[in-house]
Amino acid sequence: SNMQHLLCKIEQWNQVPTLYQLALQELDTKMKVIEAEWKMRDGYCPIEHTKTRIKEMNSVINKLERKGFDVSIENAITKIYDIAGMRIVCAFVNDIYMILEHLKTRHDLRIIEIKDYIANPKPNGYQSLHVIVQVPLILYEDTVWISVEIQLRTLAMDFWASMEHIIYYKYDKEVPPHVIQELTRVALAADDLDKKMYALRKEVQSYDVPALTEASAAAAT
């Protein structure tokens, strides 16, 4: 299988981040291409910004232990999907689903799993669309497909997740119930901001229908 194949390329822990970093760069280039195309064509790009990261091997090992797997390179590459991660931050929720539809059409990516925490937020209020994809990495003799977790979120969702991360770590993983409750309320407020901004955008766009411009009115007569 592909994973056995990939495993043959990796003999030591320090080779894991190297291969994942290369796959992440390939994915980053793919996204930059469509970003540029969108900007050229529409002047508007649904991607506000992107960020990539490789998980530290210590965190990979911790995650394996937390999930009850033996610590091995084989388990790392077959059980942990977010060794390589890309975050795509968008202005609006519908941009996220538009990008998902685009990803589904690509022959140079394999979609492994979709977790929709926008439709189904986590109990603490966390929202994002997680898409596990495999990216082909063409090596000298053959091709290996490497898993990357893409997290798609709006600016408001990203604000909430970043703040939650800071607060959660400050409380040393023992967050009192009322703090969790308040965080969930803030997540709802972020969701509300997204909806209000979207409504504003729709309204502004409605002022701009071509049929109402003088030029098109003249053209119609």
Q: Cβ closer to ligand 0O2: 47 or 161?
A: 161
Site of interaction with ligand 0O2 (CB under 6 A): 55, 63, 82, 115, 122, 124, 126, 130, 161, 164-165
Which two structure tokens, joined as six digits, stand for 92? 């609006």
Say whether 93 sits in a helix, a strand or coil.
helix
Query: Least distance (Å) from ligand 0O2 to the CB of residue 77?
Result: 14
Residue 134 CB neighbours (<10 A): 19
**Could you give the residue numbers annotated as active site?**
149
- Are the CB atoms for 32 and 41 separated by under 8 Å? no
Rounded Cα distance, 147 and 112, in Å: 8
Q: Cβ closer to ligand 0O2: 83 or 93?
A: 83
Which two structure tokens, joined as six digits, stand for 43? 């002047």
Q: Is 171 exposed, middle or buried (0-12, 13-18, 19+ CB in 10 A)?
A: exposed
Rounded Cα distance, 156 and 166, in Å: 16
Q: Cβ closer to ligand 0O2: 45 or 80?
A: 80
Which two structure tokens, joined as six digits, stand for 54? 């490789």
Query: Least distance (Å) from ligand 0O2 to the CB of residue 82?
Result: 5
Query: Least distance (Å) from ligand 0O2 to the CB of residue 120?
Result: 11
Q: Which residue is nearest to ligand 0O2 (CB)?
A: 126
- Are the CB atoms for 90 and 35 separated by under 8 Å? no
User: Which residue's structure tokens are 């969108």?
Assistant: 38
Q: Cβ closer to ligand 0O2: 126 or 145?
A: 126
Query: Least distance (Å) from ligand 0O2 to the CB of residue 88?
Result: 13
